Amino acid sequence: MGARLTAVAGLVAIAVGSGMVLAAPASAAHGELRGKNWYATNPSGCVNVPELPLKVYNFTNEYALVYQHRDCTGAIAEVVPPGGTSGDFSASIGRSVWVD
C-alpha cells in the first residue's frame, strides 16, 4: 500500500509541476440583469433580449456589454457598469447583452 500511495503522490507532483492541472470553469456573474418584461439571474455569456426598446438594469457584480445585434454580434452600443442602467441610445439599437 505504501508503494501505491508513493506512486500516486509522484504522479500528482508531476502533473502539478508540468502544468497539467485543469483550470476551474468560469463562474457566472452574481445578481440579475433586468428589463421591462425580462430578467436573467446569475447570467453568463450572451443574453438575447426579447423586447424593444432595450433597457438594461444591471444588478450584477460584472459589466454588461449591450450589442447592436442578436447573439452578441455587431458593435457594442454601451457598457453598463454594475448597478447601472443603460441609456437611450443603446435602448434604440441594442438587441443582446453579454456578461462574464
Cα distances (angstroms) measured from residue 6 to each of 18, 69, 70, 79: 18, 56, 54, 53
CB environment 23-51: b (16+ within 10 A), e (fewer): eeeeeebebebbbeeeebeebbeebebee
**How does DSSP classify residue 55?**
-
AA identity, residue 64: A
pLDDT for res 28: 81
Report the relative pairing of strands 57-60 and 96-99 from DSSP bridges. unpaired
pLDDT in tens for each of the 100 residues of the chain?
455 434 444 444 444 454 433 333 456 899 999 998 899 999 999 999 988 899 999 999 999 999 999 999 999 999 999 999 999 888 889 999 999 9
pTM: 0.71
The pLDDT mean for the chain works out to 81
What is the residue extent of each domain of the chain?
27-99
27-99 topology per CATH: Gamma-B Crystallin; domain 1 (2.60.20)
